[in-house]
Amino acid sequence: MTAAMKPVLTVKWSEPVLDEGYIAFPKRLLRAAPKIFQGEHAIEQLAVALALVDYMRPDLNRPPSIGFLAFTAGMDAERFQERLGELAEAGLIKWMGNRDALKYSLEGLQHAILENSGED
């Protein structure tokens, strides 16, 4: 975290909460989330999406494993993969690869955020 960001983030979340890092969470996603993530597993779907966002880097050399992403999302690998499938069925993500090297795109989620974050 940059020196300029640290005071803003620690006022919002505190250093102990931020000790493992943070994920950028756009305000448009905050507004759109109730429309995008619905039903019994909505919070878990959001956690899966955020785990995917968290792993993305401009210089990514190695795709993540399902196990690592599941740990980041706070769930076991089977549950993570179920939610991943739900997000794919909803057109929010596209993925390929296997449990040891998952490649994915979040273009559908980004489109849904833009579509659902406007004024009603």
Calculate the CA dihedral of residues 9, 15, 17, 21 and round it to 10 degrees: 70
Q: Give the pLDDT of residue 6.
A: 79
Q: How confident is the model at residue 1 (pLDDT cuts 50, 70, 90)?
A: low
| Structural domain includes residue 10 | no
* CATH number of the domain to which 82 belongs: 1.10.10.10
Asked, for residue 21, whether it belongs to a domain, the answer is no
In a domain, 65, yes or no: yes
How many domains would you assign to the chain? 1
- Asked whether residue 7 is domain-assigned, the answer is no
50-100, pLDDT tens digit by residue? 999 999 999 989 999 999 999 999 999 999 999 999 999 999 999 999 999
Cβ within 8 Å of residue 58, ≥6 positions away: none
Strand partners, 97: 102
**Residues near 28 by beta carbon (within 8 Å), at least 6 away in sequence:** 113, 114, 117
12 lies in some domain: no
In a domain, 119, yes or no: yes
Confidence of residue 7 (pLDDT cuts 50, 70, 90): confident
Structure tokens at 15: 């250093």
Q: Confidence class of residue 8 from pLDDT cuts 50, 70 and 90?
A: confident
* pTM reported for the whole predicted model: 0.91
| Of the candidates 104, 39, 43, the residue with the CA atom closest to the CA atom of residue 75 | 43
Q: What's the whole-number mean pLDDT along residues 34-55? A: 97
d(CA 80, CA 13): 26
For the chain, percent of residues with pLDDT exceeding 90: 79
Q: How far apart are CA 82 and CA 69, in angstroms?
A: 13
Is residue 2 situated within a structural domain? no
Nearest to 62 by CA among 23, 97, 101, 95: 101
| Domain span holding position 62 | 36-120
pLDDT score, position 107: 97
The share of the chain scoring above pLDDT 70, in percent, equals 96
The answer to whether residue 71 sits within a structural domain is yes
**Residue in the block written with tokens 């943070």:** 22
